[in-house]
Structure 1
Amino acid sequence: MAFGVAPAPAQQPVPSIHWTFDQLETGATFETQFPEPDFVPGVTGRAWRSDGFSSRVSAPLTLSAERGFTFDTWMVLESYPSGDEKPVSEQVTASIAQQASKGHGFDLHIDPFGRWGLKVATSRGTVEVVAPGVFPLYAWTRVSASYDPRIGRATLYLDGKEIARTDKGRSAPFRPATTDFQIAHSWRPAPLLVFNINGLNAAYDEVRVFGDAVAINAGRARRGSLPSAAESLRVPASRFASDLQRPSYHAMPQANWTNEPHGLVRRGDTWHMFYQRTPNGPFKTMMTWGHLKSDDLVHWTDLPIALYPELQTPSFGFDMKGIWSGDVVNGPGGLGIAFYTSVNYSPNLFNPGISMAISDDPDLIRWKKVGPLLDRTGVADFRDPYVWFEGTTAHMIVGAALGGSGGLAYYRCDNLADRGCWKRQPSFAPFAKMDVGSDIWEMPVFEKIAADRYILVANPIGGAVGKYATPATRGVYWVGTWDGKAFRPLDPKPRMLDVLPGHLSPTIDKDKDGRITAIGIVDERRTPEAQLRAGWAHTFSLPRLWRLMSDGRTLGQSPLPGLATLRDAGSMLDRGVAVAGDVGVGDLGSAVEIEATFDEAPRSGPFGLTIAQSADGREVTRIVYDPAARELILDKRRSTLGKDQEGPQLLRGGYDVQAFGEPRRFHVFIDHSVVDVFINDAAAFSFRIYPTLADASRFGVTALVPAKAQVKAWRMNSAPIR
């Protein structure tokens, strides 16, 4: 059956624009900041894939004031467009398709909450029709819109069926725009710092525009079955093929912006990890929860966005400003339970709040929001819940601002079925003695690490703490005892999670053998302009295994053994090296694992590794230990010829010889711009470098006084997100 705005013509009308994307369309302009447009499997052959912020397709189009127009396409939307973190009335919508300027043309628009509709400029004012529901995500959808100026009627269709119309009941001539017709790009910019944030993250196929109000048929011919959404939304490898700094075997989203991983949870043989994500560009705004899963913590599969901001009324939603970090636990009856920080614009309605969502899906793809559980009563601010069970009692700690210091708010619940069960408890620990001069703690985790020992990790920020300040923003920890009501650190002075700053906010769970596994964020140390040019920002650390060292108070960290499956066995290098000064050892590319073991630690003078060195020596990074100062030194002063690197380039960190032993074994994983270092498989740190020279991939060993070392190395195979 046909749903039309005018009688169907005797013969099939000819569209003014018809893009199949099986080739670069004649007359169309493909714009993207990347080397070439993205193409993916489509409804008929291939589809065009937008990147969410820089790309568009446009063409000249002449429409008639008297005849109107019809737009028709197939598309699959990965996410709703980003908005600035402002109330609904201040959002600038994105465009599915538009040919518009102020007071002219049409705009098939969509907002950050999935509400969509059509605006048409006419001689009698603006005609607008709004869809009755939010736009479908992660499914190939046929979307159509038309305007008939003869009766002033604007109509929306979804999958060939009329879903909404507005009708002036009289002639209302269309006012065409003289600008180009465009898809995936709004005619109104939405600037945020150096970014424009209201692009569209989607794939399009079979785009048609008719210079008349024509019939839309429910069944539109296509060849074969529709491809899966995952297949069509996969970012082509070509987008980042020439990027020298994008990691190839670290877990991270396919593109755009990420931050803290959280809610690492093992369900049987499968690991799930949720994380902060802006799916539409390399910028931070209106956070969603991304979702990855893995059977081995090495190879990961990208899954649909788990949680995203929503509205309960036309202007308010309890998490409308963003889904901030939290935790996921296995609950009663096999349920997945997510606790997250929800934020909005109300002065008193759970802003911020701790909210809950539940999934009865074994794959944790489908979630139902329960709503807010807690507000910040009793603390100045809070965020990032962490939850664990002891018997039938659930415990929750939340990173908090306590007025005079950072710390934690602590709650207990004896019946999760009761949303009001959570009760604030007395102080979890002596925070005033434990803090480092911060305003608030973020991303706490708490876990039993030995028979009678527990570990508490937090990430203090604000106050005297800053990303490039002293003290620096970084993870800290305490080891102590727990009696079911209070944590008592063995020493209130925090220990550094990493020897040097650069890695923070780990998320943890235990494997089948009871070992704590942790993955954190290794954030960018380059400018927003560089992140914009790259089209992505931040990466996750390699998985680490945690254990308590023999002194009963120090955390030991080692790389996940399963990472060895990425080694290219045929590339193995194994050399004994007499070290005096800098000695080059090999070049296995920019994705490499190195084990350099010194026969004995030299007693004087710095020694260690050189990595990411170019043939001419203009770019090189040095990782050395100074036995006199008992410090590890990271020297990035020549790590890049670029001008985008931020922060201190020479970093020193105290090394606990008594706990970790004299440094002998340097175990280093290099993955383009991210480096993970393990000393004696006990001390650890991760950091970022940004070499610009294609041959900056040589490595070697160095020592001020003669020494001997055995060096093994492997080229690492990529582990792209599936």
Structure 2
Amino acid sequence: MSAPLPLSAERGFTFDAWMVLESYPSGDEKPVDEQIPASIAQQASKGRGFDLFIDPFGRWGMKVATDNGMVEVVAPSRFPLYGWTRVSASYDPASGQASLYLDGREIARSPGRRPARFRPANTVFQIAHSFRAAPLLVFNINGLNAAYDEVRVFDDAVAIDAGPARRGPLPSAAESLRVPTSRFASDLQRPSYHAMPQANWTNEPHGLVRRGDTWHMFYQRTPNGPFKTMMAWGHLKSDDLVHWTDLPIALYPELQTPTFGFDMKGIWSGDVVNGPGGLGLAFYTSVNYSPNLFNPGISMAISEDPDLIRWKKVGPLLDRTGVADFRDPYVWFEGTTAHMIVGAALGGSGGLAYYRCDNLADRACWKRQPAFAPFAKMDVGSDIWEMPVFEKIAADRYILVANPIGGAVGKYTTPATRGVYWVGTWNGKTFRPLDPKPRVLDVLPGHLSPTIERDKDGRITAVGIVDERRAPQAQLRAGWAHTFSLPRLWRLLPDGRTLGQSPVPALAALRDPATAIATRVSGAGDVAVGDLGRAVEIDATFEGPSPAGRFGLTIARSADGREATRILYDPATREIVLDKRQSTLGGDQEGPQLLRGAYDVAAFGEPRRFHVFVDHSVVDVFVNDAAAFSFRTYPSLADASRFGVTATAPVTAQVKAWRMNAAPIR
């Protein structure tokens, strides 16, 4: 927001406003002295004007250009978050002093009392926008997430009193920070019933944890824009895994000294567990710029809050001694013993570092253990594993999930970046896979890094990330990036070595019964079924003997057929085929448009039921309530919302479908 503002060199100025700040501004992942702060308000150019600045660690103050040089005043404590605050600042040329105020009380004053004329800038006055850009790829990263009210600038150094100085009551801080639905109302690609932040960038969910009837999910977040830098931990909660409420940021980078903080570069992924005495325990990867001080490190934070909103950082627990690199701790308890596995680079392969602790009250209790599993035989040619998960899945079986990256693994290569898993046995010290060759978590790549927790019935529930497959410029235009998968239930299939996945039943609550379709269709080619918009659930069961040719569903099809996405099974090759070659007329989509993935008929059964959830650009597919995959597709035509059955030879299918109601983040 900009406005012309004539200011006097002799009289100075006073800034006064009410604001509520959701998060500190993003910074590039660089040391403190290389950061470019954001601006609460400024009218500045090089060597002129004033800048009421704030940096990525919440440190704030004001710089004022004068005839005697730059005058700077710095606040003694970090700027408050999530609450309305009256912010005031002034410069008086008669005394040469700059002052800062919070809620009408002076909190800092520049040193010295030497008169000096103010040097106004010949630019516009702006709020929430720095006069110095902080470029990162196609983005400018030093913006603010804030709400302002009653912004006033006086053309002299007026007195700031301690009164409220308001004309009326303020709305709640949460409502003021809420992103209005109108912002994305015309966005054809933004999901409406998948969990995701209100705006900006997200990545892996982690620390899915249930406390009574409430689920909490923590996740990677950049709160200031659709870009990855200096990550924080976002926080969502839900009573049903379908409707989610946005909560304040749980953890964000901080400094312990003016130039150093053990997690100053970012709060990377980790895990949250229910600890002894009802404590919430967060374990996370902390990164900084030191060559030897826990960089990276595994750090811990503790919450005594039943709602897991307030956290106290304990500090680093582990460094990467003994491994080339590591990240993403996963923690579980067996009796009073805590176990931790951490995704690691072992030099010759990806794998895990394994630790145990018998006394959580002692930060030094974590001790490195012998090899958790035979990683050299299990790896797929990666440099490092990320986001491990380990859980008992049957009476005598455990499942280990990891996401190998680097080395021979790439986003669009073979092997591709994706979740893989092993089923095996666990004797309390060593995991032994039934087969060292990993199985793929999803039939096709597109979904990865699930976080898990058990529901009240003991069933394993998992939520992963379905990442973007479009260019950064498209993400900048959109104002958001990435979404979470729909929650899935995990189970071990009858063969004792294959993971089965199905959608959580609670998703049925989103169905609009007035739009229900139930029909039987037959034919070959593209057989139209209906059009229920861009948010739809489709449940198709193919009848009779196995069809002779390829068969499946067409989704996101335009009326003229120029855009369509096809999900098929090819019985000749026993592969699931995702055909996105006609999925969009736009130019934003990245990656291969024709994907094939082996389908295990022995484990999953002959494919008959295709249960598909379409939510604008994200699609979750379940075959026989056993095999699963998720992907992104970006149709550009407004009417690309039709669906139907498709086959190269005649087929018959029973099809049910519903329009899905939106489940916006509250």
Could you state the TM-score of these two structures normalised by the residue count of structure 1? 0.92
1:412-468 alpha-carbon deviations (Å, 9 max, x no partner): 000000000000000000000000000000000000000000000000000000000
**Deviation of residue 221 (structure 1)?**
3.7
What is the DSSP-based 3-state SS (H/G/I as helix, E as strand, rest coil) of the residue aligned with 2:514? helix
Corresponding residue for residue 266 of structure 1: 210
Corresponding residue for residue 272 of structure 2: 328
- 1:600 and 1:314 map into 2 onto residues whose CA distance is 71
Corresponding residue for residue 538 of structure 2: 594
Matched, 1:630 2:574: yes
Corresponding residue for residue 404 of structure 2: 460
Corresponding residue for residue 716 of structure 1: 660
1:372-383 matched pairs, under 5 angstroms: 372-383=316-327
Corresponding residue for residue 174 of structure 2: 230
Corresponding residue for residue 437 of structure 1: 381
Matched, 1:683 2:612: no
1:160-179 matched pairs, under 5 angstroms: 160-179=104-123
Given the superposition, is the C-alpha separation of residues 644 and 245 from structure 1 closer, same or farther in structure 2, using an over 3 Å criterion?
Answer: same
**Deviation of residue 170 (structure 1)?**
2.2
Pick from 255, 271, 275: which aligns with 2:199?
A: 255
Matched, 1:560 2:504: yes
Pick from 61, 64, 67: which aligns with 1:123?
A: 67
Contact 2:541 2:654 (8 Å CA) reproduced: yes
- 2:468 and 2:650 map into 1 onto residues whose CA distance is 36
1:461-514 alpha-carbon deviations (Å, 9 max, x no partner): 000000001100000000000000000000000000000000000000000100
Corresponding residue for residue 146 of structure 1: 90
Corresponding residue for residue 602 of structure 2: 658
Corresponding residue for residue 479 of structure 1: 423
1:636-675 alpha-carbon deviations (Å, 9 max, x no partner): 0110111111000000000000000000000000000000
Contact 1:97 1:109 (8 Å CA) reproduced: yes
- 1:470 and 1:110 map into 2 onto residues whose CA distance is 45
What is the DSSP-based 3-state SS (H/G/I as helix, E as strand, rest coil) of the residue aligned with 1:217? coil
Contact 1:600 1:664 (8 Å CA) reproduced: no
- 2:458 and 2:536 map into 1 onto residues whose CA distance is 29
What is the DSSP-based 3-state SS (H/G/I as helix, E as strand, rest coil) of the residue aligned with 1:117? strand
Corresponding residue for residue 440 of structure 2: 496
Query: Once the two structures are aligned, what percentage of the paired residues are identical?
Result: 86
Corresponding residue for residue 108 of structure 1: 52
What is the DSSP-based 3-state SS (H/G/I as helix, E as strand, rest coil) of the residue aligned with 1:216? coil
1:148-297 matched pairs, under 5 angstroms: 148-223=92-167, 225-297=169-241
1:540-566 alpha-carbon deviations (Å, 9 max, x no partner): 000000000000000000000000000
What is the DSSP-based 3-state SS (H/G/I as helix, E as strand, rest coil) of the residue aligned with 1:569? strand
Pick from 300, 306, 315: which aligns with 2:244?
A: 300
- 1:600 and 1:371 map into 2 onto residues whose CA distance is 61
**Deviation of residue 108 (structure 1)?**
0.1
Contact 1:109 1:117 (8 Å CA) reproduced: yes
Matched, 1:344 2:288: yes
- 1:146 and 1:259 map into 2 onto residues whose CA distance is 41
Given the superposition, is the C-alpha separation of residues 67 and 353 from structure 1 closer, same or farther in structure 2, using an over 3 Å criterion?
Answer: same
* AA matched with 2:121: A
* AA matched with 1:454: Y
Corresponding residue for residue 14 of structure 2: 70
What is the DSSP-based 3-state SS (H/G/I as helix, E as strand, rest coil) of the residue aligned with 2:474? helix
- 1:348 and 1:170 map into 2 onto residues whose CA distance is 45
Contact 2:547 2:650 (8 Å CA) reproduced: no
* AA matched with 1:335: L
* AA matched with 1:323: I
- 2:509 and 2:124 map into 1 onto residues whose CA distance is 51
- 1:146 and 1:592 map into 2 onto residues whose CA distance is 55
Corresponding residue for residue 13 of structure 1: none
* AA matched with 1:62: P
What is the DSSP-based 3-state SS (H/G/I as helix, E as strand, rest coil) of the residue aligned with 1:70? strand
1:68-111 alpha-carbon deviations (Å, 9 max, x no partner): 00000000001000000000000000000000000000000000
Matched, 1:414 2:414: no
Contact 1:288 1:308 (8 Å CA) reproduced: yes
- 2:544 and 2:215 map into 1 onto residues whose CA distance is 39
Contact 1:601 1:663 (8 Å CA) reproduced: no
- 1:209 and 1:627 map into 2 onto residues whose CA distance is 72
**Deviation of residue 228 (structure 1)?**
2.0
Contact 1:151 1:167 (8 Å CA) reproduced: no
What is the DSSP-based 3-state SS (H/G/I as helix, E as strand, rest coil) of the residue aligned with 2:23? coil
Contact 1:152 1:167 (8 Å CA) reproduced: no
What is the DSSP-based 3-state SS (H/G/I as helix, E as strand, rest coil) of the residue aligned with 2:301? strand
Contact 1:590 1:612 (8 Å CA) reproduced: yes
- 2:325 and 2:193 map into 1 onto residues whose CA distance is 37
- 1:291 and 1:277 map into 2 onto residues whose CA distance is 9
**Deviation of residue 222 (structure 1)?**
3.0
- 2:621 and 2:629 map into 1 onto residues whose CA distance is 5
Corresponding residue for residue 620 of structure 1: 564
Corresponding residue for residue 329 of structure 2: 385
Contact 1:602 1:705 (8 Å CA) reproduced: no
1:287-338 alpha-carbon deviations (Å, 9 max, x no partner): 0000000000000000000000000000000000000000000000000000
**Deviation of residue 224 (structure 1)?**
5.0
- 1:330 and 1:606 map into 2 onto residues whose CA distance is 48
- 2:202 and 2:398 map into 1 onto residues whose CA distance is 29
* AA matched with 1:610: T
- 1:138 and 1:648 map into 2 onto residues whose CA distance is 43
**Deviation of residue 706 (structure 1)?**
1.2
**Deviation of residue 602 (structure 1)?**
2.9
- 2:523 and 2:450 map into 1 onto residues whose CA distance is 36
Pick from 525, 528, 542: which aligns with 2:486?
A: 542
**Deviation of residue 167 (structure 1)?**
4.1
- 2:538 and 2:194 map into 1 onto residues whose CA distance is 16
**Deviation of residue 178 (structure 1)?**
0.5
Given the superposition, is the C-alpha separation of residues 223 and 181 from structure 1 closer, same or farther in structure 2, using an over 3 Å criterion?
Answer: closer
Contact 2:329 2:341 (8 Å CA) reproduced: yes
- 1:421 and 1:225 map into 2 onto residues whose CA distance is 51
**Deviation of residue 603 (structure 1)?**
3.9
**Deviation of residue 168 (structure 1)?**
3.1
* AA matched with 1:420: A
* AA matched with 2:416: A
* AA matched with 2:470: R
Corresponding residue for residue 34 of structure 1: none
User: What number of residue pairs does the alignment pair up?
Assistant: 666
Corresponding residue for residue 29 of structure 1: none
What is the DSSP-based 3-state SS (H/G/I as helix, E as strand, rest coil) of the residue aligned with 1:378? coil
Unaligned 5+ segments in structure 2 are none
* AA matched with 1:612: A
Could you state the TM-score of these two structures normalised by the residue count of structure 2? 1.00
* AA matched with 1:326: G
1:7-28 alpha-carbon deviations (Å, 9 max, x no partner): xxxxxxxxxxxxxxxxxxxxxx
Contact 2:103 2:164 (8 Å CA) reproduced: no
What is the DSSP-based 3-state SS (H/G/I as helix, E as strand, rest coil) of the residue aligned with 2:339? strand
Contact 2:540 2:656 (8 Å CA) reproduced: yes
* AA matched with 1:244: L
What is the DSSP-based 3-state SS (H/G/I as helix, E as strand, rest coil) of the residue aligned with 2:569? strand
Matched, 1:395 2:335: no
